[in-house]
Amino acid sequence: MVQRHGDQPSLETEREPLLRDTAQPSSDYLYHAYRSISEEGIYNRFIKPVPEGDEEQSLGSDETESLKQSAHVNVIKIISVMLLGIFVAQTDTSILMATHAIIASEFKALKDSSWLIISFSLAGAATQTLYGKLSDIYGRKRMVIIAYTMFMVGCAIVGMGQTMSQVVLGRIVSGAGASGMSALVSVLITDLLPLREVAQWRAYVNLVATLGRSIGGSLGGCLADVVGWRWSFRVQVPLITLAIILCSAYLPSHTGTLDETDDTTQLKSKFSRIDFKGSFIFAALVLALLLPIELGGVKIPWSHPLIFVYLGASVILLVLFIAVERRQAEPILPLEIFHSKDAILSFLILGLQTAAQLGLMFTVPLYFQVTSTPRPSATVAGAHLVPAVMGNAIGGIISGSAIKRSGRYKSLVIWAVTCSSIGYLLLMLRWHGNTNSWFESLYIFPGGFGMGVTNSALFISLQVVIDPAHMAPAVSFMYLMQTVWMTIGLPAANTIMQTVLRRNLEIRLLKLGYDNVEVAKVCALTLCLSLCLSLCGMAQG
């Protein structure tokens, strides 16, 4: 599945990049690992190539081994301090899912509660790709701290908000920060670790993220009941402040070779490298594409002219963006990324898997609330998602270990997609309102497991086929694709469910003798209730 930079296909093209330098991490890895705690002398003594004839200046084997072990310890510290931010960001998402109706009700704006979710999602999508390129220009550490600070400020605004508009503003600021918190940790992992170890470390990050998503709904609901929903967000401020302090202390200050220019010249040079025109057009493109998906069927009908206006604008902006980026020396999203068929397939497969998994998470709680007797609460119905969540975490860990051991990932992707498909097929064939066996309730495990495996394997696939100089923008774009497909997956699942439910309900009500007006009222109420129950189940799950 993966040639690199024009290499001819061979049996070794998949494994060769991962098997390279397995005994010793890359030079960049050791440079990054030591830069935050050591003087540049370590770079000069250990990493900088030794001129021919000066071999006696190189380190002895014992000192070399000691430096390598210390580097590994430092890398563990660097990645570990970022896990706190990942945990809080993922917990925040689940908290909002559980409390958005409570928040909107306090401001007597229940009909606008979805904007608390939509604003966060759109802000994150619009800023996602910016972090990758800006981190190349200004350094990973600076952009990580900026992302954390924006997220913290957003939480503070939400916690202190006195109007619905202020709370939505806070969610916009938080969303713009959270997108960087998610993407930059993966970029840092690729900076600091040999390629073969990346998948395993990303699996640990995914495990922490899964834990945050799992407890966020219950935690948010509990805090809302005991001390009020505002504390669900206020309590995040000191946690993120601690994360900022830890990142300031442990993250490397530099991400490339040493720069000898003075600070003023360096700042002006970096500022001139920012692709403002491309950044603005791409953000507008993302918003024009996602707004109709977010609003369609919720705020306005799918047949509304505004839907087609937005979609048409997204096409025009896409053409304009490509034209502008082709002339940029340092584009915000290098178009060379899309010259690789394997990179495009990686984005597409991960996106489709994400959409399918979100559709599963949306419908399963509702299924159990409708079919179970006695009818379970939203918390109990949401608990049926636990097998999928556990499968995601287990799949990521297993695939990371397998890639590190064998250097192969293409077969993992094929196997994971097949596993997920079998799980979804079993749901369609076996779940018909009489799911009483605990064994049959585990059919959702393969979907989550396949998602975990695919996430890790496709991240490695992308790294193999993309030029390392474009890695940060490519990783950010991969996260953006997940956001886009999540946005597509939820309304798609909801539309299919509501269409089938409405058709079957109309047939049954008409047979019972109800007239068309009564049928329409019952259908509208039922569909609204089903959506609310499903969202509550997802949050509690």
- 3-class SS letters over 31-58: HHHHHCCCCCHHHHHHHCCCCCCCHHHC
* Domain extent listing, the chain: 23-255, 275-330, 333-541
**pTM tops 0.85:** no
Among 3-17, 137-151, 301-315, the range scoring the smallest mean pLDDT is 3-17
Q: Please name the CATH architecture into which domain 333-541 falls.
A: Up-down Bundle (1.20)
H-only helix segments in 59-194: 61-106, 114-138, 140-160, 164-192
Mean pLDDT of 423-450: 80
pLDDT at 526: 61
The tokens for 479 are: 């996260």
| pLDDT(26) > 50 | no
Instruction: Report the alpha-carbon distance of residue 538 to residue 378 in Å, rounded.
Output: 8
pLDDT digits (tens, 9 = 90+) for 505-539: 667 666 666 666 666 666 666 656 555 555 554 44
Cα 518 to Cα 291: distance, rounded to the nearest angstrom: 33
Comparing 59-68, 270-279, 350-359, 367-376, which segment has the lowest mean pLDDT? 59-68
Rounded to whole angstroms, the Cα distance separating 526 from 498 reads 9
User: Hey, do 23-255 and 333-541 end up sharing a CATH topology, with the first three levels equal?
Assistant: yes
Query: What sign for the dihedral angle of Cα 2, 342, 354, 153?
Result: positive
Digit-coded pLDDT (tens) for 443-474: 888 888 998 899 888 888 888 888 888 888 88
Residues 6+ apart with CB under 8 A from 360: 388, 424, 427, 444, 447
**pLDDT tens profile 46-90:** 333 444 444 444 445 555 566 666 666 777 778 888 888 888 888
Q: Is the pLDDT of residue 540 over 80?
A: no
Domain 23-255 fold is Growth Hormone; Chain: A; (1.20.1250)
In this prediction, residue 261 carries a pLDDT of: 45
In which region does residue 19 sit, left (phi positive, over 0), alpha (psi from -120 to 50) or beta (all else)? alpha
DSSP state of 372: S
170 pLDDT band, cuts 50/70/90, is: very high
Whole-angstrom Cα distance, residue 368 to residue 349? 29
